[in-house]
Amino acid sequence: MDQNIHGKYLQKAIAVLRIFSPYVIYYKLLDAVLDRSRFANVMTLEQIRDGIKKDTIFIFGSGFSINSITPAEFETISNIGDTLSFNYFFKGMFVPIKYHICGEVASTGHYGPIMFDRDRQQRIDAYYSELLKNRFYSDTIFLLRYKRDYTISPIAAWSFFSSKYFVDRKVCLYGIKRSVELNKNGSSISHNGGTLSDAVNIAYILGYKKIVLVGVDLYDRRYFWLNESETRDIDRKRSANFFDVHDTAKPIIKLMGTWRETLEEEGVALYVYNPKSLLREVLPLYSV
């Protein structure tokens, strides 16, 4: 009983510390800088919606199947719909990207204070440096997820001053929520099982009627920018191999199956592009 009481007090203490943590203070200051900077172009949800002319969006993961998509297919994809990428898709140059989710990057699995982790700072700086050098991201709207980035990977925002932003925290009052529910009103973004859930929820909130998941293989842990039989460093640290089923496969398959039904009720279709993807269990195949 005493342990439960101590646990409750400890949780409250941690919650208070998070509210007054350096992360929150840092991002409040950063938010003010972005709001007032003549270099920053912070877009609203309405501004982004006004610029949408297509009803289809292709969401790009980083599975090895990306290498099987021909240049002609990428050109067709670009003509048919808009594009959204996340994590490390920028390591390739395949198709112009309209949106990119910036968030959980360069992490080795622990989320301690970044100001005391110089190695992690360098990895994050390298991530954004490489991202912004990719010519296919020259006109991209970067989706900065401040609420979640407080405790994961702070954005090197000074690198983005000549770019366009959409900040979830400005439009989505409650930021990122760990939820299996697809958020419909834009008050928050649902995060569950991986960044793919954020991407699908954002695509829905933006008003797209056809959402196509590309390079979301799940049957292994191969990535398109690595050799065919190469295991990524972060997976080796988890004692996993390139041929192992992706660690997010089960929750993502379950979630996407549920969301497909929810989206259908809203007149939105959710597809998978790779015919071999494990998502074929719950999603119809899209072909260009």
What the chain holds in terms of domains, given with CATH numbers, is 41-281 (3.90.1480)
Helix (H/G/I), strand (E/B), else coil: 190 = strand
Q: What's residue 227's pLDDT?
A: 94
> What is the SS3 string spanning 118-147?
HHHHHHHHHHHHHHHHCHHHCCCEEEECHH
What pLDDT is stored for residue 262 in this prediction?
93
Instruction: With beta carbons less than 8 A apart as the criterion, state whether 220 and 64 touch.
Output: yes
pLDDT averaged over the chain? 78
Residue 284 near residue 271, CB atoms below 8 Å: yes
Cβ neighbours of residue 8 closer than 8 Å, sequence gap 6 or more: none
Quickly state the pLDDT bin for 110 (edges 50, 70, 90). very low
Q: pLDDT by residue (tens digit) across 171-229?
A: 444 445 555 677 776 666 777 778 899 899 999 999 999 999 999 999 999 999 999 99
pTM score:
0.80
Query: In whole angstroms, what is the distance from residue 269 CA to residue 193 CA?
Result: 20
Q: Comparing C-alpha atoms, which of 220, 229, 196, 225 is closest to residue 93?
A: 225
Report whether 88 contacts 133 (CB < 8 A).
no
What's the pLDDT band for 102 if we cut at 50, 70, 90? confident
Q: Give pLDDT, residue 173.
A: 40
